[in-house]
Amino acid sequence: MMRTDGYLLDNRQAEAGPRFDALAAVFDPTTFRHLEGLGVGPGWRCWEVGAGGTSVVTWLAKKVGPTGRVLATDIDTSWVEPAARQPVEVRRHDVGVDQPPGEGFDLVHARLVLLHVPERERALHSMVKALRPGGRLLVEDADPALQPLVCPDEHGPAEQLANRIRQGLRTLLAERGANLSYGRRLPRLLREAGLHRVEADAHFPIASPAGATLEAATVRQVRDRLIAARLATQEEVDRHLTNVASGAMDLATAPMISAWGRKR
Ligand X SMILES: C[S@@+](CC[C@H](N)C(=O)[O-])C[C@H]1O[C@@H](n2cnc3c(N)ncnc32)[C@H](O)[C@@H]1O
Binding region for ligand X (CB under 6 A):
7, 9, 11, 20, 23, 50-53, 74-76, 94-96, 111-113, 116-117
Is residue 146 exposed (0-12), middle (13-18) or buried (19+ Cβ within 10 Å)? middle
Nearer to ligand X, 218 or 243 (CB): 218
Q: Which amino acid is at 170?
A: R
Sign, Cα dihedral of 209, 156, 178, 146: positive
Residue 81 vs 94, nearer CB to ligand X: 94
Cβ atoms of 57 and 72 closer than 8 Å: yes
Determine contact, residues 39/136, Cβ cutoff 8 Å.
Answer: yes
**How many helices (H) does the chain have, and how many strands (E)?**
7, 7
The smaller minimum CB distance to ligand X, of residues 20 and 204, is found at 20
Closest separation in Å from C-beta 33 to ligand X: 15
Residue 39's identity, in one-letter code, is G
- DSSP assignment of 143-194 equals -TTTS--S-SS--SHHHHHHHHHHHHHHHHHHHTT--TT-GGGHHHHHHHTT
CB of 48 to ligand X, least distance (A): 7
Which one, 161 or 168, has the nearer CB to ligand X?
168
- Among residues 78 and 242, whose Cβ is nearest to ligand X? 78
Burial of residue 184 (number of CB atoms within 10 Å: 0-12, 13-18, 19+)? middle
CB of 124 vs ligand X, minimal distance in Å? 12
Closest contact distance (angstroms) between CB of 239 and ligand X is: 26
Nearest position to ligand X, beta carbon: 52
CB atoms within 10 A of CB 50: 23
Q: Rounded to the nearest whole angstrom, what is the least distance from the CB of residue 235 to ligand X in the complex?
A: 28
Report the alpha-carbon distance of residue 236 to residue 241 in Å, rounded: 9
Nearest CB to ligand X, comparing residues 101 and 148: 101
User: How near is the Cβ of 99 to ligand X at its closest, in Å?
Assistant: 13
CB of 95 to ligand X, least distance (A): 4
CB nearer to ligand X: pick between 158 and 186: 186
